[in-house]
Amino acid sequence: MSEVAEGRRARGGGGAARRAERTAVRIECAKFIERNIPNLEILNDEALEIIEANAETILEEVGVNFVENPEALKRWKDAGADVTGERVRIPKGLARQLCKTAPSSYVQHARNPERNVTVGGKGLVLAPVYGPPFVRDADGGRRYATLDDFQKFVKLGYMSKWLHHSGGTVCEPTDVPVNKRHLDMLLAHMTLSDKPYMGSVTEPVRAEDSVEMSKILFGSDFVDQNTVMTSLININSPMTFDGIMMGALEVYAKANQAAIISPFIVGGAMAPVTVAGTLTQVMAEVLAGVAYSQLIRQGAPVIFGAFVTSIDMNSGAPTFGTPEAAHITYGAGQLARRMGLPYRSAGSFCGSKLPDAQAAYETSNSLNMGLLAGVNFMLHSCGWLEGGLVSSFEKFVMDADQLGVLHHIAKGIDMSETGQAMDAIREVGPGGHYLGCAHTQANFKQAFWRTELLDYKPFETWDEEGARDTVALAKARVTKLLNDYQKPAIDPAIEEALNEYVAKKKASMPDAFM
């Protein structure tokens, strides 16, 4: 890869690269959120200690399964766990001790350094929806996702001011063979956006491809020394760590790349029907998973994850934006902070089939709780529909607009003299109005969050313009953003090397669709 790294180091020096950078439109992107507001601490210390103690009891008495992964079993045995078959029982204190080497925060680098994000502390990094096999738009309805859809979502993410991260599987490009689509997905994130991205986790070899392609993009040395990916490692709740996911985790941890260690909980099915019980299981699973990442490489960056939904006990369907999910999200945030780990949860979750009021209630419930629960990395922060089966174009831009609300709430309250506005109150006095006063004129432009989507027009104007609902407004915005899209500048040598890697890899294996 040395010639590629050369190419990268030469960026700004080469003529083609310079030309590309000069002609590129500058796309606005907010810095990741740094909270200046408190979190909601829903549990007291006593309750948290009970949950932590229960989690360690579960690990010691019941244990967890590491399946189809003899190496993992050996690592656990060597570390002092009691291993019987695939069952790993972890003595009290051991997992927590192992977790101590995981960093409390890390920087994920983007190829555009202005887009670097810090994951942890008081930060909140927003990434788009992940995983749906279907897409929906206002014109075409619901259909299987394609690579073309995938690329459009990456472009929309790049054009979305409040989105800090390009994400991973923004939808499944089902028209590309299963064993090759990760290559096209990575290529899209790397070339159509300059925001940070996620690696593939569906096979260890695909995680290796993710690392290799990142080395082309960033240079080998840079990737050896820095974190350039955050990838999603799901735990098969309850308490099962499968060989494929752990294989991907092993690849990433060895390469010092970040992983979200994330129980995948549908309360009532994969966890108890109670909140405290679910938190106990989440805590046990994360303790085991994070400890395992540190057995692979001490200091490997990891995130305390909690994907949480509950089940509708009538239909068996997962439900979103519910009070139980809020409780678990708040509680898990406290547990993550007590472990000193970055925290991933919440998102634009909804069960609705359409980007309608149900979708927005559920999403807004989830986004608000995510902000106040101290989430550091919010996957699925926009575009999620129908319980995660669908990536919605319209909902993507609708949610992305609401992410601006989170940014402004997180700023907290300005208590400066300008913020206190005593001169304005004195100037205006009883019965006056503030529209024209000096303080308003000086500050109104920055004063309030402003939507780029929602309608505030007078009824008559709105009615004359076609009485459009939010979906109609969003449809127009999707079209505008895709029309305005311009690819961010990239060193042509790097892009060529990436294309070549993808082509070679694709040619090296037969198509697989399962």
Q: Is 467 in the site for a second copy (CB under 8 A)?
A: yes
Question: Which residue in 70, 462, 500, 509 binds a second copy (CB under 8 A)?
Answer: 462
Closer to a second copy by Cβ: residue 256 or 366: 366
Minimum separation from the CB atom of position 75 to a second copy (A): 18
Q: In terms of Cα–Cα distance, which of 444, 443, 335, 346 is closest to 403?
A: 346
Is 25 a binding residue for a second copy by CB under 8 A? The answer is: no
Rounded Cα gap, residues 301 and 254, in angstroms: 10
Residue 268 to residues 54, 231, 295, Cα–Cα distance (Å): 19, 27, 32
Which residues from 412-441 bind a second copy, rule CB under 8 A? 412-415, 418-422, 424-426, 428-435, 439-440
Strand partners, 124: 33
Cα separation, 135 vs 210, in Å, equals 25
* SS3 category, 313: coil
What is the CB-side half-sphere exposure of residue 279 using CA atoms within 13 A?
26
- Min. distance of Cβ 150 from a second copy in angstroms? 21
Residues contacting residue 70 through CB under 8 Å, at least 6 positions apart: none
Minimum gap (Å) between residue 368 Cβ and a second copy: 5
Residue 27 or 50: the one with the smaller Cβ distance to a second copy is 50
Q: Which residues contact 185 (CB under 8 A, 6 or more apart)?
A: 150, 168, 169, 173, 200
The 3 state secondary structure assigned to 394-437 is: HHHHHHHHHHHHHHHHHCCCCCCHHHHCHHHHHHHCCCCCCCCC
Task: With beta carbons less than 8 A apart as the criterion, state whether 308 and 335 touch.
Answer: no
Is residue 249 within the footprint of a second copy (CB under 8 A)? no
Judged by CB under 8 A, which stretch of 215-223, 255-263, 366-374, 497-505 contacts a second copy?
A: 366-374
Q: Are residues 74 and 44 in contact, defined by beta-carbon separation less than 8 angstroms? A: no
Nearer of residues 227 and 278 to a second copy, judged by Cβ: 278
Pick the piece of the chain touching a second copy (CB under 8 A) from 125-133, 394-402, 490-498, 506-514. 394-402
Per-residue mark of binding to a second copy, 48-87 (x: CB under 8 A): --xx--x--xx--xxxxx---------------------x
> Distances from the Cα of 133 to the Cαs of 140, 172, 175, 388, 416, in angstroms?
15, 5, 11, 9, 49
| Binding region for a second copy (CB under 8 A) out of 3-11, 144-152, 193-201, 466-474 | 466-474
For a second copy, give the closer residue by CB, 147 or 372.
372
Site string for a second copy, 152-171 (x = CB under 8 A): --------------------
Q: Does residue 127 contact residue 198 with C-beta atoms inside 8 Å?
A: yes
The separation between CA 293 and the C-alpha centre of its own chain, rounded to angstroms, equals: 20
Q: Which stretch binds a second copy (CB under 8 A): 76-84, 114-122, 304-312, 504-512?
A: 304-312
Q: Residue 450 Cβ, how far from a second copy at the closest point, in Å?
A: 7
Q: Which is nearer to a second copy, 35 or 164 (CB)?
A: 35
Q: Where in 307-336 is the site for a second copy (CB under 8 A)?
A: 310-315, 317, 319, 321-324, 326-327, 331
Q: With CB under 8 A, what is the number of residues at the site for a second copy?
A: 126
Stretch that binds a second copy, among 153-161, 246-254, 296-304, 464-472 (CB under 8 A): 464-472
Considering only 30, 107, 178, 409, the residue that binds a second copy (CB under 8 A) is 409
Indicate the SS3 state at residue 66. Answer: strand
Smallest gap from residue 56 Cβ to a second copy (A): 12
Question: From the CB of 478, what's the least distance to a second copy, in Å?
Answer: 14
Among the listed residues 267, 240, 415, the one whose alpha carbon sits nearest the alpha carbon of residue 332: 267
- DSSP secondary structure letter of residue 452: S
Which letter, b or e, does each residue of 281-297 get, where b requires 16 or more Cβ atoms within 10 Å of its Cβ? bbbbbbbbbbbbbbbbb
- Does 405 bind a second copy (CB under 8 A)? Our answer is yes
Name the segment binding a second copy (CB under 8 A); options: 13-21, 114-122, 233-241, 299-307.
233-241
Provide the 10 A C-beta neighbour count for residue 478: 20
Find the binding residues for a second copy in span 269-288 (CB under 8 A): 269-281, 284
Map the footprint of a second copy across residues 118-147, applying CB under 8 A: 142
- Per CB under 8 A, 351 contacts a second copy: yes
Binding piece for a second copy, criterion CB under 8 A, among 21-29, 299-307, 456-464, 482-490 = 456-464
Binding test (CB under 8 A) with a second copy, winner from 10, 357, 438, 503: 357
Please state the closest distance from residue 16 (CB atom) to a second copy, in A: 42
On whether the CB atoms of residues 128 and 350 are closer than 8 A, the answer is: no
Q: Which residues pair with 304 in a beta bridge?
A: 261, 343
Assign residue 2 a region (left: φ > 0; alpha: ψ between -120 and 50; beta: otherwise).
alpha
Question: Is the Cβ of residue 92 or residue 411 nearer to a second copy in the bound state?
Answer: 411
DSSP 487: P
Binding mask 188-227 for a second copy (x = CB under 8 A): ----------------------------------------
